[in-house]
A and B are shown apart, each in its own frame.
Chain A
């Protein structure tokens, strides 16, 4: 395993493809909404435009005549005002509608993104989680997703409005004067160039800012998780110092990013003013000398248009900041969405079965106590293989990182119901073996079979469903104790839950809690002792009732009283099940059928407790405490 990778890029230039992809992502999911938004925006802008036109008409056609009449008749004015009032009303209503739609779109899109992120993350291989800082992943859901909100609710509609205005103004400009339009356009090109320069700068820093946010998030989480140790070692000040370093880097990135973002607006605005002066000068020369059919009145109008043309550009540039920031966030979001998911080419599934009179199996709908692998053969035949729990390794090689083999030439056979124990020093590859059985990682060479079927052919979900697991770190979830035990089988009855808890000897302590099975666990069950948490995780595995069990030595820190109870329960649980035990305490595995001693990724000794002791080899040394087992 390598150092946790950072999710983001190293502050390199933002990719225009990210923007394209982001827009497609946002627009495609709310097509109809956006069409309505567009229509409403057009109507509402038209109402706005008519508002400005109205002033001129009002004065010229209605008010001015009033000055010169003696009998002042205000009725035409009232009628005109009524007409305008209705147009305005339409404007207000459409404005309200599109604002409302945008709320639906923006909140919906954010939810969609989070859903997509989470759904995708659920499909990622374990290696992703092993190699990325958890705080940094979290940051994608929060810091990065948040950057999109403003883009959706403000920038995109603003772009639509501006686009609409620009087009209409542009057409009027061309009608008035082609050369002056070209001058205006050439300034737009200059603006574009400057914009691009500034944007790439600020984009780079925004990218860095998002990355630093992720890093800082990760650091805070690590310190919070280790809060006990931090306190015991008076490490607070050191932690603060380290934090300040990261925080300072975040400041630098954030400062630079915002600086470039802030200067966009004045730069674009004032380039617009230069454009205005240029047009006035050249247009003035043209009008005075009578070039290009430009009249003085035409020039005055053109100058107004020039302002209306640069105005929306200015507005767009205001929105660009949030677009740049969103691109930095989107980049990290897409990076996660682009992570390759766990591949599953398996087609052998696990089904309920019943035994026919001739001893063959057939599939049934209802729950039976017999499970079978449904194996579709080439010629359309379906074969049912009874689930027994026979696991074999043939010449398995594996490495997490290329050229650093962790397991070498492993061969092992576990008959149904056998208890196989792995012992050996750290790094010998014990945990790795179990990672391979449930395909958290895929082997590089050799094969593993389950009831005679290559596990690569078995659908991963079904493979894992057939394997119960109790891990070294007991992982509990927020929820009641009952919910936690029912984790693998949510539809289990309360009686079954109690039965499982009794089997794991967890029932006694649960019963004594104030709220019993309804006790709510938070923060991974922090209110329970480590031993109690382990009992729960055993009860959870017991309820899952799978034919093969993987125990990553869960009994190491339960007191000996509880441990004896657990051992009894485990023995009950293990009877009739194939069990792989990664042993940390050798006393728990003496009754194993086979004990494998691993060293440097190879099985160096195998046998039962008695034969291995007699052999006086590594196992003997481990057992007598001469070498450390882990």
Chain B
């Protein structure tokens, strides 16, 4: 897992190596300083020799200066490497998320993905930076001190070995205990985020129904669940420092006792025991530092896992091995197609659909709410893959095409008209980023959007708010139609996308499509008979099935459901 994560270091490898290297320099300089200090006292001050003080003093200044430079560079590279590393991580995650199918996204939920990209990534960044700087410092100090103790008295040094093993064992145990709790904690964190996100986007309903207090309670529960979990984890971690001290004090006592015996029988000097004490503190301090790093790392292990999950998630819809990059025409065939959103679902939402649509045909689709009209069309650009049967475009199974090719050829205007923050023209150019202003305007004209865009003070450069809140439903629909037309698709799917547009404009758009895009296969899902009655053929859907296909007149004559809809709408109009 760590290995997978470290693959993302990429161009920051050099900095990642330089940072600890300079840290080594800094540590070496730092280890020299105490000697110089004792020289200043022993050789200079104690002997009243000012010259020696000056000599060693200036040497110390020099060492301090080198240490400063090393520290500066180490800090610089560590910051550079860790910021770069996390930038790569976020980029790779985002890139992978972009290949996700809806099944993948559902698995994590939006807020779950956001937490992974933000909080988890920050945790890893901090842990990485800490590792680069401290992982060298602590072991180096440890090694030097260990070496010195063995040098002084190897038998006594065994005490440290026992202490170190004891510590390592306990710390390992703690980390094992804590890790699953952190994993659980992050799940709670997602839940809490989801709760905030939902509240913010539904704030109008919350306020309208005066539900602030209940929402607060909901959130408080999520927040306190989070606190409890993290507290449980940290309750293990608090043992860290006492255990550390316990070990340190025990070794000091043991050292005193055994040391005293050595000294008493003349096998060791008191000065050596003093140095042993100093090194004990050194060793245990670096162990302490290491344990702190481990705590940090173990906290970030849960984060790292969650990041790797996203990085390694295989998109459930992928390109075939030898993708076909050309689509002949806009014919569409459904052969025995069955589809369900969730695995193991009892009932498919599309059952055994058979259908053939010719290139250039205009097809209307009508049917009751929940009849899976949208689902049917979503299979064409492979937003989902069928469970059984096959969907073919231009005579070839959609699963054999290159995804970009396929989706470029199939334009879909969705029920929910999503516009993005930016300008009008930026939004329209989603369809074709290289489209000239003229092409954009032409598409806008086709969609009857040109006039109202021009009427805006900044025209095509007008700002679109996040979610397109500054446009009306009808305007949004027309903008999204224009956006889809700019793709110049072979197949155009309009999913109830003129519901807010007035009937005359609706009519105008349909006629414009018919005359200027005769080659394009047009699928129009609508609730209004008027929007589809002049289609070449109309498909009537009810509860996962197609119950009738035919022209307006044919259906009116033979299809009961269609007749009902027609009657209702006619009556509505005449009233």
Contact = CB atoms under 8 A, between A and B. Distances in A.
B443 interface: no
A259 B76 contact: yes
B260 A258 contact: no
B276 to A, nearest CB: 10
A239 B86 CA distance: 19
Contact of B68 (A92, A262, A270, A471): A270
Contacts of B110: 221, 224-225, 523
A412 interface: no
Contacts of B471: 426
B421 A222 contact: yes
B87 A247 contact: yes
Interface in B330-346: 341, 346
Contacts of B245: 88, 91-92, 95
B45 to A, nearest CB: 5
Contacts, number: 473
B44 interface: yes
B162 interface: no
A296 B393 CA distance: 95
B78 A559 contact: no
A107 B50 contact: no
Contact of A77 (B214, B257, B528): B257
A630 B90 CA distance: 41
B208 interface: yes
B469 A287 contact: no
Contacts of A62: 260
Interface string B67-80: 11011101110111
Interface string B460-484: 0001011101111111000000010
A624 B530 CA distance: 13
Contacts of A377: none
Contacts of B263: 63-64, 66-67
A232 B266 contact: no
A243 B113 CA distance: 15
Contact of B72 (A110, A240, A266, A561): A266
B136 to A, nearest CB: 14
B113 A220 contact: yes
A628 B260 contact: no
B465 A138 contact: no
Interface string A59-96: 10011101100001010011001001100100111011
A229 B98 CA distance: 12
A454 interface: no
B213 to A, nearest CB: 8
Interface string A460-494: 01001101010110011110000000011010000
A281 B57 contact: yes
Interface string A237-250: 11110011001101
Given A81-B256, A139-B118, A235-B430, A92 B242 contact: yes
Interface residues of B, number: 179
A226 B420 contact: yes
A100 B71 CA distance: 34
B264 interface: yes
Contacts of B257: 77-78, 81
A227 B421 contact: no
B441 interface: no
B431 A126 contact: no
A266 B114 contact: no
A467 B208 contact: yes
A455 interface: no
A391 B235 CA distance: 58
Contact of B45 (A84, A100, A141, A299): A299
Interface in B382-426: 383, 403-404, 407-408, 410-412, 414-416, 418, 420-421
B49 to A, nearest CB: 8
Given A63-B270, A590-B575, A220 B133 contact: no
A207 interface: no
Contacts of B224: 111
Contacts of B64: 270, 273-274, 277
Given A66-B263, A531-B369, A134 B200 contact: yes
Contact of B227 (A108, A130, A556): A108
A243 B45 CA distance: 62
Contact of A274 (B45, B61, B79, B569): B61
Contacts of A475: 201-202, 204-205
A3 B261 CA distance: 78
B22 to A, nearest CB: 10
Interface stretch (B141-149, B191-199, B510-518, B551-559): B191-199
Contacts of A122: 199, 206, 212-213, 215-216
Contact of B565 (A59, A138, A265, A560): A560
Interface stretch (A7-15, A18-26, A30-38, A112-120): A112-120
B226 A111 contact: yes
A390 interface: no
Interface in B187-241: 189, 192-216, 219-220, 223-224, 226-227, 230-231, 234-235, 237-241
B246 A92 contact: yes
A59 B270 contact: yes
A104 B231 contact: yes
Contacts of B504: 624-626, 628
Contacts of B575: 587, 590
A123 B212 contact: yes
A100 B416 CA distance: 51
Contact of A469 (B99, B122, B208): B208
A276 interface: yes
Nearest to A490: B214
B71 A267 contact: yes
B496 interface: yes
A72 B264 contact: yes
B418 A625 contact: no
B227 A426 contact: no
Contacts of B199: 118, 121-122
Contacts of B20: none
Given A4-B421, A88-B249, A270-B64, A103 B238 contact: yes
B68 A267 contact: yes
Interface string B93-133: 01101111010011001110111011100100100010001
Contacts of B502: 622, 625-629
B45 A584 contact: no
Contact of B474 (A59, A72, A630): A630
Contacts of B189: 142
B170 interface: no
B40 interface: yes
A179 interface: no
B48 A288 contact: yes
Nearest to B105: A227
A594 interface: no
Given A220-B113, A226-B418, A263-B76, A488 B211 contact: yes
A122 B90 CA distance: 31
Given A122-B212, A523-B109, A560-B569, A84 B253 contact: yes
A458 to B, nearest CB: 12
B252 interface: yes
A626 B125 CA distance: 60
A471 B440 CA distance: 33
A284 B42 CA distance: 12
Interface string A340-354: 000000000000000
A525 to B, nearest CB: 11
B564 interface: yes
Contact of B119 (A142, A222, A488): A142
Contacts of A234: 403-404, 407-408
8 contacts: A133-B466, A232-B407, A276-B60, A475-B205, A522-B109, A529-B370, A561-B369, A625-B503
Query: Shortest 3 CB-CB distances between A and B: which pairs?
Result: A266-B71, A262-B75, A426-B472
Given A62-B260, A266-B26, 5 more contacts: A103-B234, A129-B203, A143-B119, A232-B411, A281-B53
